[in-house]
């Protein structure tokens, strides 16, 4: 009976042309995204995602959705075969995740696919095998209701594409990002994610707040303020972080439109504006904001992977978002000083308004962003300060200069020479001034100490002899699933500088020792590193980042205490292979050479 209820049809070629073609399968995470979205469109309440080798060898998605008829199970793999739209008009009333009818065809073209599917009412299900887009087999089988798709050996027939895949860690992280984006919109769907047999996520049916906590960690989940605004343009709901739970690095910032994760830098700006002056300039708010909009008020078609969505009236939405954030913050009991008077209450516009002064910035992303490249090479830095000093002397009479310098000499402390060559003193508690074989050296003692600490730590990693201090009261490091992936990749690196961990539940660890020089909040200094996805993608960068952050945390900004300390700093600094620049590439000292001095004062 159900056989004649087939629901899939092929789109007309006119419609096909109206749909901008996009690359569907770029990497394993794109497969995960398409298959999870199909399961959601099929009304599944439970979706299991199982992958091997970060999706390289296997991606399996099992759902309990409505399943397909045997005929549809084959037709589903034809290009532009979809049950979701019939013509371009439908594009403006989309309520489903997919609609192009391209995903299964594209996936099947570049892998070996096995599909098992059965509708609830059917007695038998259908099994289909497709290799590189060619139908290899279809048979009737006994199987559970719903759909199971197995995608094996991705890009097996396109070696060039396979070569472009990143390291497993990176591909796994991409999958985790996609999984989280979906998990955060569908808290009512039970979701699991398993990689190489180990469970990364096991999420039951929960509410939004609980789901945010399960995905982004309890700390983020617990301290959220609610947003809920209804306007004719959109229903905006969700959560924002309290001013004291903003973060410095990689905040969780999510926008969703009609159940789809989107990126929207312009609206992100609106949220930040809402926090205006309530948080330090270097802190970033976290937010999970869900827009419900009439499907015809947005254009989901502007980007092939659909993460950038254009709203019909973005300029009117902008101030609405700012106000909604301000209101949520004002009504938060955690900030009594910020309670707004009723009179000062911001009116949330409920009808489109003309805010033509506000410009929607174009969406640009710098894919070549390298946090280290902004620092120019050591030599160019080292040369710069000298110019500054030349200017300092310009136009000043020698007498004046002598006066000033003798003024400054008051309070100087004479430092015993480090080597016979270094005879010097500490200026302002911060600079060490000493002689060198070519002239006079001015050394920034804090930067020098950073270099020393960095070198010591990096030697420790190279030698394999870590120095840790045992913690009398071990602290608990609780990680999110994503942080845990980065953590496990880099655990040995942490251990090599003196950290000690003991397992403490699924994604929690007991911190038993820390690097001996480290001061401050141990747990946060680890978390800061783990939540830096840009840098975690490259192992080398992670090492650099870790060393840099540890060096900073082991180096107090305080003044140099006495000649002994200054002497030690100078002698340690000049044991370094690169004494002239800090690990970030900032100059540590500069030299007034004797020719320069002679030129100035004879
Ligand atoms: P689209 O999702 O854009 O329609 P796809 O290639 O992803 O295109 O899927 C083609 C069709 O196959 C869908 O329209 C749907 O009818 C059917 N289909 C795919 N996955 C599932 C699933 N998990 N459960 C039920 N039907 C599915
Ligand atoms: Mg689809």
Task: Specify the pLDDT at position 223.
Answer: 84
Residue positions counted in the chain: 602
pLDDT tens digits, one per residue of 302-342: 555 667 777 888 888 888 899 899 888 887 744 333 333 33
Nearest CA-CA partner of 28 in 160, 161, 127: 161
Q: How confident is the model at residue 92 (pLDDT cuts 50, 70, 90)?
A: low
- Check pocket membership of 30 for ligand 1, CB cut-off 6 A: no
Higher pLDDT, 336 or 512: 512
Cα separation, 322 vs 343, in Å, equals 18
Q: Using CA positions, which residue lies closest to atom 8 of ligand 1?
A: 101
Mean pLDDT over all residues of the chain? Answer: 77
149 Cα to the center of ligand 2, angstroms = 12
Closest ligand to the CA of 82:
1
Stretch 23-38: mean pLDDT, rounded? Answer: 88
261 Cα to the center of ligand 1, angstroms = 19
240 Cα to the center of ligand 2, angstroms = 31
Cα separation, 129 vs 108, in Å, equals 9
Cα separation, 556 vs 548, in Å, equals 14
Q: Using CA positions, which residue lies closest to atom 13 of ligand 1?
A: 82
Residue 441 has pLDDT above 80, yes or no: yes
Closest ligand to the CA of 81:
1
Cα separation, 182 vs 177, in Å, equals 9
CB neighbour list of residue 404: distance below 8 Å, 6 or more residues apart: 396
pLDDT tens digits, one per residue of 201-221: 999 999 999 999 999 988 888
Nearest CA-CA partner of 55 in 204, 178, 138, 146: 178
Q: Using CA positions, which residue lies closest to atom 7 of ligand 1?
A: 103
Per-position DSSP letters for 207-227, written without gaps between them: -HHHHHHHHH-HHHHHTEEEE
Ligand 1 pocket test target in 67, 82, 301 with most atoms within 8 Å of CB: 82
Nearest CA-CA partner of 233 in 132, 315, 382, 350: 350
Higher pLDDT, 98 or 573: 573
Tokens of residue 142, six digits: 């006994």
Q: Using DSSP, state whether 198 is helix, strand or coil.
A: strand
Ligand 1 pocket test target in 7, 104, 122 with most atoms within 8 Å of CB: 104
- Check pocket membership of 532 for ligand 1, CB cut-off 6 A: no
- Check pocket membership of 65 for ligand 1, CB cut-off 6 A: yes
Ligand 1 closest atom vs CA 104: 6
Ligand 1 closest atom vs CA 105: 6
Higher pLDDT, 305 or 516: 516
- Least confident range from 56-70, 440-454, 556-570: namely 556-570
- Check pocket membership of 328 for ligand 1, CB cut-off 6 A: no
- Check pocket membership of 66 for ligand 1, CB cut-off 6 A: yes
Cα separation, 447 vs 430, in Å, equals 10
Cα separation, 210 vs 118, in Å, equals 32
Residue 362 has pLDDT above 60, yes or no: no
- Check pocket membership of 34 for ligand 1, CB cut-off 6 A: yes
- Check pocket membership of 238 for ligand 1, CB cut-off 6 A: no
Per-residue burial over 300-334, b if 16 or more Cβ lie within 10 Å, else e, is bbebeebbbbbbebbbbbbbbbbbbbbbbbbebee
- Check pocket membership of 101 for ligand 1, CB cut-off 6 A: yes
- Check pocket membership of 82 for ligand 1, CB cut-off 6 A: yes
99 Cα to the center of ligand 2, angstroms = 6
Closest ligand to the CA of 73:
1
- Check pocket membership of 325 for ligand 1, CB cut-off 6 A: no
Q: How confident is the model at residue 124 (pLDDT cuts 50, 70, 90)?
A: very high
Tokens of residue 394, six digits: 């310009």
Task: Specify the pLDDT at position 40.
Answer: 96
Q: How confident is the model at residue 574 (pLDDT cuts 50, 70, 90)?
A: confident
Stretch 253-265: mean pLDDT, rounded? Answer: 90
Stretch 24-29: mean pLDDT, rounded? Answer: 83
- Check pocket membership of 69 for ligand 1, CB cut-off 6 A: no
Cα separation, 104 vs 80, in Å, equals 9
- Check pocket membership of 97 for ligand 1, CB cut-off 6 A: no
- Least confident range from 289-298, 406-415, 482-491, 578-587: namely 406-415
Q: What angle do CA 105, 103, 309 make, to 5 degrees?
A: 150
- Least confident range from 395-404, 441-450, 501-510, 565-574: namely 395-404
- Check pocket membership of 147 for ligand 1, CB cut-off 6 A: yes
Ligand 1 closest atom vs CA 85: 4
- Check pocket membership of 84 for ligand 1, CB cut-off 6 A: yes
70 Cα to the center of ligand 1, angstroms = 13
Give the torsion through C-alpha atoms of 401, 402, 405, 410, to 10 deg. -150
Closest ligand to the CA of 62:
1
Cα separation, 270 vs 499, in Å, equals 40
- Check pocket membership of 316 for ligand 1, CB cut-off 6 A: no
Q: What angle do CA 266, 267, 272 make, to 5 degrees?
A: 100
38 Cα to the center of ligand 2, angstroms = 5
Residue 346 has pLDDT above 60, yes or no: no
Residue 189 has pLDDT above 80, yes or no: yes
Cα separation, 482 vs 180, in Å, equals 9
- Least confident range from 360-374, 378-392, 554-568: namely 378-392
Cα dist. 518→392, 457, 471, 515 in Å? 38, 11, 12, 5
- Check pocket membership of 111 for ligand 1, CB cut-off 6 A: no
3 Cα to the center of ligand 2, angstroms = 22
Cα dist. 594→157, 395, 432, 443, 456 in Å? 68, 21, 18, 17, 33
51 Cα to the center of ligand 1, angstroms = 20
Residue 195 has pLDDT above 80, yes or no: yes
Place of tokens 């949520």: 328
Model pTM greater than 0.75?
no
Ligand 1 closest atom vs CA 100: 3
Helix residue spans in 237-344 (DSSP H): 265-274, 314-330
Q: Using DSSP, state whether 22 is helix, strand or coil.
A: coil
- Check pocket membership of 526 for ligand 1, CB cut-off 6 A: no
Stretch 451-471: mean pLDDT, rounded? Answer: 84
Residue 60 has pLDDT above 90, yes or no: yes
- Check pocket membership of 98 for ligand 1, CB cut-off 6 A: yes
Task: Specify the pLDDT at position 349.
Answer: 38
Residue 381 has pLDDT above 60, yes or no: no
Q: Using CA positions, which residue lies closest to atom 1 of ligand 1?
A: 101
Ligand 1 closest atom vs CA 63: 23
């Amino acid at each position: 009976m159900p056989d004649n209820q087939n629901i899939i049809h092929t789109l007309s070629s006119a419609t096909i042309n109206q749909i901008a073609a996009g690359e569907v399968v770029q990497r394993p995470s794109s497969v995960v995204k398409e298959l999870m979205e199909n399961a959601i469109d099929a009304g599944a309440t439970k979706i299991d995602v199982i992958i091997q080798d970060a999706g390289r060898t296997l991606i399996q998605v099992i759902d309990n959705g409505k399943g397909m008829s045997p005929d549809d199970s084959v037709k589903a793999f034809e290009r532009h075969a979809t049950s979701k739209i019939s013509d371009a008009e439908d594009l403006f009333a989309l309520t489903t995740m997919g609609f192009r009818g391209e995903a299964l065809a594209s996936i099947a073209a570049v892998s070996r696919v096995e599909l098992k599917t059965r509708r609830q009412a059917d007695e038998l299900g259908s099994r289909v095998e497709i290799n590189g887009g060619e139908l290899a087999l279809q048979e009737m089988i006994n199987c559970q209701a719903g759909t199971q798709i197995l995608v094996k050996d991705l890009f097996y027939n396109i070696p060039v594409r396979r070569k472009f895949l990143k390291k497993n860690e990176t591909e796994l992280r991409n999958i985790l990002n996609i999984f989280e984006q979906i998990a955060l919109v569908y808290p009512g769907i039970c979701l699991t994610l398993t990689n190489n047999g180990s469970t990364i996520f096991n999420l039951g049916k929960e509410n939004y707040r609980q789901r945010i906590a399960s995905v982004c960690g309890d700390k983020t989940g617990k301290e959220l303020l609610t947003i809920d605004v209804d306007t004719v343009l959109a229903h905006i709901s969700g959560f924002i972080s309290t001013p004291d739970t903003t973060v410095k690095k990689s905040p969780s910032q999510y926008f969703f439109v009609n159940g789809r994760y989107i990126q929207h830098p312009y609206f992100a700006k609106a949220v930040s504006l809402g926090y205006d002056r309530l948080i330090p300039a270097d802190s970033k708010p976290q937010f999970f904001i869900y827009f419900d909009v009439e499907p015809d008020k947005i254009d989901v078609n502007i980007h092939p992977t659909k993460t950038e969505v254009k709203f019909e009236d973005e300029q009117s939405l902008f101030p609405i978002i700012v106000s909604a954030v301000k209101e949520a913050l004002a009504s938060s009991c955690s900030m009594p000083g910020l309670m707004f008077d009723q009179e000062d209450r911001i009116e949330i516009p409920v009808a489109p308004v003309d805010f033509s002064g506000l410009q929607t910035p174009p969406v640009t992303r710098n894919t070549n962003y390298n946090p280290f490249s902004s620092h120019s090479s050591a030599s160019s830095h080292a040369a710069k300060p000298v110019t500054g000093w030349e200017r300092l002397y310009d136009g000043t009479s020698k007498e004046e200069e002598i006066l000033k310098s003798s003024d400054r000499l008051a309070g100087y402390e004479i430092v015993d020479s480090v080597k016979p060559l270094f005879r010097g003193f500490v200026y302002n508690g911060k600079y060490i001034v000493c002689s060198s074989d070519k002239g006079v050296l001015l050394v920034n003692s804090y930067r020098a100490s950073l270099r020393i600490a960095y070198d010591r730590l990096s030697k420790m990693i190279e030698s394999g002899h870590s120095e840790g201090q045992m913690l009398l009261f071990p602290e608990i490091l609780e990680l999110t699933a994503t942080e845990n992936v980065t953590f496990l990749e880099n655990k040995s690196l942490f251990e090599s500088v003196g950290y000690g961990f003991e397992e403490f539940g699924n994604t929690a660890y007991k911190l038993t020792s820390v690097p001996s020089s480290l001061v401050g909040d141990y747990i946060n200094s680890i978390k800061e590193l783990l939540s830096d996805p840009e840098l975690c993608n490259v192992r080398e960068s992670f090492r650099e980042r870790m060393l840099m952050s540890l060096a900073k945390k082991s180096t107090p900004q305080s003044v140099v205490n006495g000649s002994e300390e200054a002497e030690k700093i100078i002698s340690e600094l000049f044991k370094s292979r690169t004494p002239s620049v800090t690990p970030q590439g900032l100059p540590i000292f500069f030299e007034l050479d004797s020719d320069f001095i002679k030129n100035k004062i004879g």
